[in-house]
Structure 1
């Protein structure tokens, strides 16, 4: 690519993300996966990725770094993001880590004996090399303790452990002593570490993506398993009184876990505090259809309970959530907007269909399948019948890039489209006009300025980046005009006596329910894990910890609301 073309691409990216920030102001909510300009890879077939995220507050701004993103993002509020392309950081490498030491931001990425970079103004792309690590590693994590001492954690393997070592800030972050083994593989005891989509391949998964937090004098060493391409990808945690251990496994692991819903996975992330003292966890979510590294980013609220246990709330984790501007108690206060999904499996028609990509795949709540029109021509459309007059509050448009041949570094034309609504299918009102859009995003989240009443919703293509017009999720949120489902009353749990890492939960279907959220945990009052199911009343749960007690509750939901179970 010529220098002129590279410059043009960077200019377009900066201008586009500036417009994105302006367009999203005052929405007050977000919807996972995060609505960012996920970059195309260099590989074939074409796919987008961002993964292994690190969120970092520096001089009052949030900075977000992720693997293979060509740059990074910054924001004042975690809602409106501006993309910063970078040529001075190794942004083509995996698994970045960032830490502030003496008012300087330090950056390391995952690639053997990597260099350490530093900046005192990351708003500008002017990072410089500080030193080189004396050890070879993957998936780095920097941590500065309250006393100013600095520690380094790393590891990414199906056999090798998670390691840790102290670094000396007085000697350009050189190592002190020898690395220590901190976390070993143990899938036969901790079922969620077992390799496979259902934790059923009978071997160690990949333990990777370490991260450290200190809370109330305790050190929480987090790690991901069993593999980034699996729906069951999550983050577990060990706890210690010292930064280099010894560590004790926390039995509520994986504390970050989202194996179901529209998009899955909540692993290899980082836990951080926002400006108001609230904890969050930003993590990797998997599509992994075209390539195992086809991934996105998700953001979830986190809290430490009175017993010091770390919990991440992923229930309704791909529905609209609020961004807060105050200190909250995430153990008792929910960020869920209460806007229910109106679009699941509703009747759809389309201008055309590509074989294997039927229109019904646009609203089956599965990011791994998608509707595809026969072309990318202007005028291709998809129409949905909500089957009743409903209150619409927000729409998430998830584009699938079917047939795209784009690679990293190429200029990307943005998706352009319009959305109209109707009460009778005859007279239509434009509710979202993106026909002049200049923002490269693939999970466009639109909060309507005012709620509307409608039965029919139609999206019409104007422009695609390349290939055909395709949607993995045309998701409509709001409220129906009926009643919430009845409570689930009859629940049975059968734990496998020969392998207590596995259990089957069954319940009597609730009349009127679209789906269910199964909550579980190690104590009756701590049911913070969750699994969402649509149209089923049986759940096989393979990722439990051996010989640890579990308690369960099943809530029913539909487009009118949620009914808590017993």
Structure 2
């Protein structure tokens, strides 16, 4: 009781201040990107159709949301993000928040690549022609296709392209095959669709040497790896060619790295491999992305995050710092799922999930969709209120702590765009119990018009031992499921 007494006095000003929107101090993975699109392979399905193979996971087909395979570009004080399925997003606060800026060519194929070269921005997607613009947000104009016989002989099909500009020269890397490798060729710096010389295989699939390249959640399939997602980074005169393997639909999906003194090799594996692999916890399948220099010349990786519930391509996006060790090996220290400072030297006091695994109860529950499933550190389970629950409420209890932020990850059950059931804003508020029976609104999204499948919000620090999510509205036809309701704060 003594812990709550000071907050009885402060309850009135807190009630007035707590719900005011705050500019976030931190970023949190998966990134809270607005307007997550419906997955490319789910846009024209018949909801409820039987699973006919491919990477479908559920017995019956459902639509899902998808962003993955990101290219990021730091330009004139902002991040520009170009992922699979839609483009582009911009962050003017170093990755804390993002705004959607649809391009005139929003979806040119999986794994788009964008590079600034010779004063222009070049854009290329899997199987697409090259586009160019004077601005990172377009308009992009077609330049032409690469006259390379993709898919013939040993050449892989043109999937997962990467364009790299180096001291006025331009290089093209690609590859995405079951057991092939990563290829590269130089392009004419001015006539960018003209190859200079023949393409060469730069990295081979070597499952016996690198078992982590093998497919599967246990890397058990040594005949297949799906080497893909090439990315080039130059550092201290050396060339670091990264790639991903293990299968984007598996939690073992990871990044590796080869190094050379030349952009076309010969390449050798660096001593530290894989450079980024996270197989347990909330963030897994940390492959296919980019490693780029951002604010203050600090290295960042933007990467794919596994969410696969109904399809293997159901994915999200994360970002975290990258680094070089004392021996010059490129690596990513950690995949994070809690709020992190964006600037080196900023307050890094950990904000932990206060309610992880703690009692979490819904005002009602659909069958097999209990409230506790929204606090189990997984995007693959969720709380779904009963269909006749007029105002669903999810209440979570935890040891009394100072709440600094909340994250709500929704699942739009019933999504069916061919029948007019479309994504849209979820409206809600989050309340904290500041004294027994006294609830204060700490996050107010009751008037939201934004489509945030993942919503991370910071609040005025508020001492509480319970928090509740009050669902106030959702897109028509959608059942508002909550995959994760997380309350963050420091350990006191």
Is the pair's TM-score, using the shorter chain for normalization, greater than 0.5? yes
3-state SS in 1 of match to 2:256? strand
In 2: Cα distance, 1:282 partner to 1:401 partner: 25
Superposition map of 1:542-557 within 5 A: none
In 2: Cα distance, 1:40 partner to 1:205 partner: 27
- Structure 1 position 108 matched with structure 2 position 115: no
Partner of 1:119: 133
Superposition map of 1:59-74 within 5 A: 59-69=76-86, 71-74=87-90
The number of equivalent residue pairs is 443
C-alpha spacing 1:160/1:369, structure 2 compared with 1 (3 Å): same
Superposition map of 1:491-502 within 5 A: none
Superposition map of 1:415-434 within 5 A: 415-434=426-445
Shift of 1:253: 1.5
Partner of 1:29: 26
Partner of 1:176: 196
Partner of 2:55: none
- Structure 1 position 347 matched with structure 2 position 366: no
In 1: Cα distance, 2:44 partner to 2:229 partner: 23
C-alpha spacing 1:172/1:310, structure 2 compared with 1 (3 Å): closer
Shift of 1:286: 0.7
Q: Paired residue for 2:383, among 368, 371, 386?
A: 371
| Consecutive unaligned residues in structure 2, runs of 5 or more | 1-19, 46-61, 151-157
In 1: Cα distance, 2:96 partner to 2:403 partner: 21
Q: Is the 8 A contact 1:380 1:469 kept in 2?
A: no
Partner of 2:339: 320
Q: Paired residue for 1:285, among 305, 327, 333?
A: 305
Superposition map of 1:148-547 within 5 A: 148-315=168-335, 317-324=336-343, 328=344, 336-375=348-387, 378-386=390-398, 388-406=399-417, 412-448=423-459, 450-465=460-475, 466-481=477-492
Q: Is the 8 A contact 2:427 2:471 kept in 1?
A: yes
| Per-residue CA distance 1:278-297 (angstroms, 9 max, x = gap) | 00000000111111111000
Q: Paired residue for 2:144, among 131, 143, 153?
A: 131
| Consecutive unaligned residues in structure 1, runs of 5 or more | 1-22, 482-566
3-state SS in 2 of match to 1:370? coil
Q: Is the 8 A contact 1:141 1:154 kept in 2?
A: yes
In 1: Cα distance, 2:212 partner to 2:409 partner: 29
Q: Is the 8 A contact 1:157 1:207 kept in 2?
A: yes
In 1: Cα distance, 2:133 partner to 2:347 partner: 34
In 2: Cα distance, 1:121 partner to 1:376 partner: 50
Shift of 1:168: 0.4
C-alpha spacing 1:373/1:428, structure 2 compared with 1 (3 Å): same
In 2: Cα distance, 1:408 partner to 1:186 partner: 46
Q: Is the 8 A contact 2:244 2:255 kept in 1?
A: yes
- Of 377-386 and 390-399, deviating more is 377-386
Partner of 2:64: 47
| Per-residue CA distance 1:302-356 (angstroms, 9 max, x = gap) | 11123111111225x01111112xxx4xxxx698541112111111211111212
3-state SS in 2 of match to 1:360? helix
3-state SS in 2 of match to 1:150? strand
RMSD: 2.1
C-alpha spacing 1:145/1:24, structure 2 compared with 1 (3 Å): farther
| Per-residue CA distance 1:167-211 (angstroms, 9 max, x = gap) | 001323410111101111111221211110121234321110000
| Per-residue CA distance 1:46-67 (angstroms, 9 max, x = gap) | 1000010000123443210000
